[in-house]
A and B are shown apart, each in its own frame.
Chain A
Amino acid sequence: MNHRFIKTVLSAFLLLMLTTGVQAAEKNMVFASPYGITTLDPSVSYSTEVGYMHNLYETLIRVNPPGSEEPFRFVLAKDFTPSEDSLTYTFTLRKGVKFHDGTDFTAETVKFSIERTMRIGKGASFIWADLKEINIIDDYTVQFVLNKPVPLPQIAASANGSYIMSPAVGDKEAEWFNKGNDAGSGPYTLKNYRDGESWMLAKFNEYWGGWEGNHVENVLVKFTKEPLTQLQMLQAEQAMLVGRIPLDSYPAVKDGKKTKVLYGPSYQNYMAFFNTTRKPLDNVKVRKALAHAMPYEDIIEIGFNGNATQARGPVPKGQFGHSPDVIQYRHDIEKAKKLLAEAGYPGGGFELTLTYAAENQQEKRFAPLIQSEFKKIGVDVKIKALAWSTQWSMAKEDPESAQDIFLLLWWPTYSDPYETLYSLLHDEGDKPVWNLAYYSNPSYDKLIRNAYETTGTDPEKARKLYVQAQNMIQKDVPVAWLVDIVANWPMNRRLQGFVMNPAYPNVPFFYDMYIE
């Protein structure tokens, strides 16, 4: 009885839907997103909101996915030319671009935007550290002057901190943005902003790219944390695109009648920092043994459904500086046992604490695999799942009393290996931030700086220096590089045109998409 009543109500509904909704639905889509918004201020934004920011705002240029013919895609800039000494870059700007508030885009706005970001000094503003000044040549020509020959195009195409915003922003603060306002030039503008719940990326009629052809016009973002919920929304066609689904559901979704999973390159990688400051991990042989004992294949298979590859050093596959010449440790229990014995720990016999971020589905899944495998060489692992912020804070406090092994998911801010190599392993003294192995090697620090400053003038030499630096690290094993992941997006079969770009992780460029 009850059942029938509900079915009746439901079918009345569907009828209503069919008559009113379908026509419009083809250009509209729902994105069930696990990515929350920390701030909407484009100068400050440096977190999971990046996926929306790139649809609201644009940068001068974008890095193309690896394998493309051209290294860059021109967005607000039409062209750029570096000077002989790679210290000056001149950008020619696109004409006829309007911001959402109606203001025209000019050289003035470029200077304003980047200076605002540098002045506020939050978020990813550090990317501009080596910028000396910005000169306006004319309305549509702008010149960047550098202190050092750092790779400026990569910086201007950075995933964070390089957005161009309307000068109408003036001296408005983050507060104004966080009420749901935007000042971008992107194809979409923010509407109906209900933080922590839902918001709409709505078509901006005067977008310079135009709206001819097939484009998604309105995207309703429903903030949805639970992977199970996202799965259900995807399967019930309540969402066209979702962020993450339960790990074990990938095989079914991949070959679903209505669903598919898009895989693509990514610069994200997982790593395990070893605490090098105290016994037994201060011994390089013990660290080597553990690097050999890591069950890389199981981690890939169980933690990532096979969609990852064993990492080869800190620089992820596909990024400049990645090389097959970098040493890699294979999973080899016998060798691990032998190394432990050589180090003076035959049969293991010590306990290590491993921390990971409780929010991270993958880490939660593969941490027990490490524990189980280390047991085979006589090393007991105590796993601690902590809120990310706690895990990180505790690791930074005092290396002497911190964890032994720290699991981390890392991604670079811009497409150059220097940031990764510098942040993760340069000597940070007694105030560690990202170097959670507490590793110190002055010749390494010098080497990577040298490479960074060579990139602008002699990329091939820089590449060689980066490889040399990575092998220096690999001999000391302060970190076990676990896996380079293959990014994935579960989506409806009818959603087309999604291009995954590892330089912009977790960014769906909706303008390129359409519904079949």
Chain B
Amino acid sequence: MGFFLFKRFVSLIGLLIVLSTLVFFFTRSLPGDVAALYIGGNAKPEQIERARKELGMDKPLIVQYKIYMEKLVQGDMGISLRTHRPVSRDLMEKIPMSFELVFWALLIAVSGGIFFGVTAACFHGSWIDETIKWFSSAAVSTPIFFLALLLQLIFFNWLGWFPLQGRMDSFLEFTNPIKNITGISMVDTLISGNFPAFLNVGWHIVLPVVSLLIGPLGIIARMIRSSLLDVMSQDYILAARASGISEGVLFFYYGLRNALSPVLTVIGLLVALVLLATFYVEMIFNWPGVGYYSLAAIMSLDYTALMGVTLMVGAVYMIANTITDVVRRLVDPRIK
């Protein structure tokens, strides 16, 4: 196990190096004039020249690469061309905001997915099973941006139950401003006893979280259902049943435990999916998180932020995959 972890760790680092190298050379081959972009506005030629020196972009590419990698090792991703602040600081500020969304979305998607998957398998062939099956088909077929807009239209415009966008009503920022402790607004408001703000954030977070969780919920429910049905028809379950173990224990202990393993394999993929979905959800719901930041970086060709974002998403994706692998080995003794 120790050796396996070490091996995974080394290959993770290797992949991250490949990723950052690719991103570096990709972004440097782009047509835009980075220095001009950094200056912005009605820049004059000599100012652009000066900015080029300041950014170190007058040096040969390979020297720039060396500097970039050295800084990266120290956690310095450079200065964003758009916000003119360190990218790592920007990301550290935005990550908690997105974490809030992703956390709720994944929590509900996984628990709801297991619940619906098990229910469907329990009532295999009945109308409940059919309904859950169609729902999960619909869930994975809905483009995230369409779903988000549809939710806004129905629940804000037509029914008026939830706010259209934002993290909190703006007048609360005068009366009940959020103290920044962890950066996760629901936690901050709760520990500082800021109850009105807590409720307000909770009210605002519903639609974005729902848009994020629908897809993963469908995927998980569907996987649990089919793998549970698969497991329950295996010989060892039959043997166990013959030896008189109760149907409930059989189903929830032996069946579900074994059925979870294939689901674990897609958790990494789901994390990536949700992370990417935050780009759209945060844009549509005006949620000031890392997804919004990433999309803005992409759209404005902010190449330093772009590298930071790619590295971050890549790293999250790879780390999630590694953790999945490790957990699978712990859960499933068949894997060597």
Q: How far is the CB of B60 from chain A (nearest CB, A)?
A: 20
- A contact face: mostly helix, strand, loop, or mixed: mixed
* Interface size counted on chain A using CB atoms at 8 A: 62
Cβ of B199 within 8 Å of any chain A Cβ, yes or no, is yes
B43 touches A433 (CB 8 A): yes
| Choice from A192, A196, A229 contacting B293 with Cβ under 8 Å | A196
Q: How far is the CB of A314 from chain B (nearest CB, A)?
A: 14
| Choice from A13, A174, A220, A431 contacting B174 with Cβ under 8 Å | A220
Q: A9-B199, A229-B286, A423-B42 are in contact. Are A394 and B174 (CB under 8 A)?
A: no
| Choice from B40, B93, B173 contacting A46 with Cβ under 8 Å | B40
B74: chain A residues at CB < 8 Å are none
Cα distance A238–B166 when bound, in Å? 11
Cα distance A24–B203 when bound, in Å? 25
A123 touches B41 (CB 8 A): yes
A387 touches B42 (CB 8 A): no
Counting chain A CB atoms within 10 Å of each CB, the highest count among B46, B171, B200 belongs to B171
B37: chain A residues at CB < 8 Å are 389, 393
A387 touches B301 (CB 8 A): yes
- Beta-carbon contacts of A384-397 to B below 8 Å, as 1s and 0s? 00011110111011
B286 touches A224 (CB 8 A): yes
Interface-forming stretch among B82-90, B213-221, B233-241, B265-273? B82-90
| Choice from A9, A10, A393, A433 contacting B44 with Cβ under 8 Å | A433
From 254 to 294 in chain B, residues with beta carbon under 8 angstroms from any chain A beta carbon are: 283, 286, 288, 293
B286: chain A residues at CB < 8 Å are 224-226, 229
Cβ of B300 within 8 Å of any chain A Cβ, yes or no, is yes
Q: How far is the CB of A199 from chain B (nearest CB, A)?
A: 11
B47 touches A121 (CB 8 A): yes
| Choice from A20, A192, A233, A396 contacting B33 with Cβ under 8 Å | A396
B175: chain A residues at CB < 8 Å are 17, 20-21, 24
| Choice from B42, B296, B299 contacting A413 with Cβ under 8 Å | B42
Residue of B nearest to A420 (CB): B42
| Choice from B45, B48, B165, B203 contacting A9 with Cβ under 8 Å | B203
Cβ of B56 within 8 Å of any chain A Cβ, yes or no, is no
Q: How far is the CB of A250 from chain B (nearest CB, A)?
A: 19
A434 touches B42 (CB 8 A): yes
A38 touches B196 (CB 8 A): no
B283: chain A residues at CB < 8 Å are 226
Cβ of B161 within 8 Å of any chain A Cβ, yes or no, is yes
Cβ of B70 within 8 Å of any chain A Cβ, yes or no, is no
Cβ of B164 within 8 Å of any chain A Cβ, yes or no, is yes
A122 touches B42 (CB 8 A): no
B47: chain A residues at CB < 8 Å are 121-123, 126
Q: A195-B83, A393-B36, A434-B42 are in contact. Are A222 and B200 (CB under 8 A)?
A: no
Q: How far is the CB of A414 from chain B (nearest CB, A)?
A: 11
Q: How far is the CB of A48 from chain B (nearest CB, A)?
A: 9
A3: chain B residues at CB < 8 Å are 159, 161
A433: chain B residues at CB < 8 Å are 43-45, 48
B162: chain A residues at CB < 8 Å are 6
Cβ of B32 within 8 Å of any chain A Cβ, yes or no, is yes
A121 touches B42 (CB 8 A): no
B170 touches A28 (CB 8 A): no
B199: chain A residues at CB < 8 Å are 9, 13
Cα distance A123–B47 when bound, in Å? 8
Q: How far is the CB of A144 from chain B (nearest CB, A)?
A: 21
B170 touches A30 (CB 8 A): yes
B171 touches A25 (CB 8 A): yes
Cβ of A178 within 8 Å of any chain B Cβ, yes or no, is yes
Cβ of A239 within 8 Å of any chain B Cβ, yes or no, is yes
From 353 to 380 in chain A, residues with beta carbon under 8 angstroms from any chain B beta carbon are: 358-359
Residue of B nearest to A10 (CB): B203
Counting chain B CB atoms within 10 Å of each CB, the highest count among A2, A17, A192 belongs to A17
- Beta-carbon contacts of B73-96 to A below 8 Å, as 1s and 0s? 000000000111100001001000
From 151 to 169 in chain A, residues with beta carbon under 8 angstroms from any chain B beta carbon are: 160
From 308 to 325 in chain A, residues with beta carbon under 8 angstroms from any chain B beta carbon are: none
B31 touches A220 (CB 8 A): no
Q: A390-B301, A393-B33 are in contact. Are A197 and B288 (CB under 8 A)?
A: yes
A359: chain B residues at CB < 8 Å are 299-300
B31 touches A16 (CB 8 A): no
Cα distance A3–B288 when bound, in Å? 27
Q: How far is the CB of A435 from chain B (nearest CB, A)?
A: 11
B230: chain A residues at CB < 8 Å are none
Q: How far is the CB of A42 from chain B (nearest CB, A)?
A: 14
Residue of B nearest to A233 (CB): B170
Cα distance A56–B177 when bound, in Å? 23
B84 touches A238 (CB 8 A): no
A392 touches B41 (CB 8 A): no
A388 touches B161 (CB 8 A): no
Q: How far is the CB of A448 from chain B (nearest CB, A)?
A: 17
B170 touches A389 (CB 8 A): no
Cβ of B39 within 8 Å of any chain A Cβ, yes or no, is yes
Cβ of B50 within 8 Å of any chain A Cβ, yes or no, is yes
From 321 to 362 in chain A, residues with beta carbon under 8 angstroms from any chain B beta carbon are: 358-359
Q: How far is the CB of A168 from chain B (nearest CB, A)?
A: 22
Residue of B nearest to A2 (CB): B161
From 285 to 321 in chain A, residues with beta carbon under 8 angstroms from any chain B beta carbon are: none
B83 touches A196 (CB 8 A): yes
Cβ of B169 within 8 Å of any chain A Cβ, yes or no, is yes
A32 touches B170 (CB 8 A): yes
Q: How far is the CB of B82 from chain A (nearest CB, A)?
A: 8
Counting chain A CB atoms within 10 Å of each CB, the highest count among B42, B83, B174 belongs to B42
Cβ of A232 within 8 Å of any chain B Cβ, yes or no, is yes
| Choice from A17, A178, A229, A431 contacting B171 with Cβ under 8 Å | A17
A238 touches B299 (CB 8 A): no
Residue of B nearest to A238 (CB): B170
A46 touches B42 (CB 8 A): yes
Cβ of A496 within 8 Å of any chain B Cβ, yes or no, is no
A396 touches B36 (CB 8 A): yes
A121 touches B171 (CB 8 A): no
Q: A16-B196, A220-B174 are in contact. Are A390 and B43 (CB under 8 A)?
A: no
B170 touches A220 (CB 8 A): yes
Q: A47-B41, A232-B165, A390-B301 are in contact. Are A25 and B174 (CB under 8 A)?
A: yes
Q: How far is the CB of A465 from chain B (nearest CB, A)?
A: 23
A6: chain B residues at CB < 8 Å are 161-162, 203
Q: How far is the CB of B192 from chain A (nearest CB, A)?
A: 16
Cα distance A388–B33 when bound, in Å? 11
Residue of B nearest to A358 (CB): B299
A2: chain B residues at CB < 8 Å are 161
Cα distance A238–B173 when bound, in Å? 11
A196: chain B residues at CB < 8 Å are 83, 90, 288, 293
Cα distance A220–B171 when bound, in Å? 9
B36: chain A residues at CB < 8 Å are 389, 392-393, 396
Cβ of A455 within 8 Å of any chain B Cβ, yes or no, is no
A39 touches B166 (CB 8 A): no
Other A-B contacts than A233-B170, A387-B299, 18 sampled, CB-CB below 8 A, are A16-B196, A21-B174, A30-B173, A47-B40, A121-B47, A122-B50, A124-B41, A124-B42, A160-B41, A195-B90, A220-B170, A225-B296, A387-B32, A388-B300, A390-B30, A390-B32, A393-B36, A433-B43
What are 9 A-to-B residue pairs whose CB atoms are below 8 Å?
A25-B171, A122-B50, A126-B44, A174-B84, A222-B173, A233-B166, A238-B171, A389-B32, A393-B33
**4 tightest A-B CB contacts, nearest first:** A393-B32, A389-B37, A393-B33, A46-B41
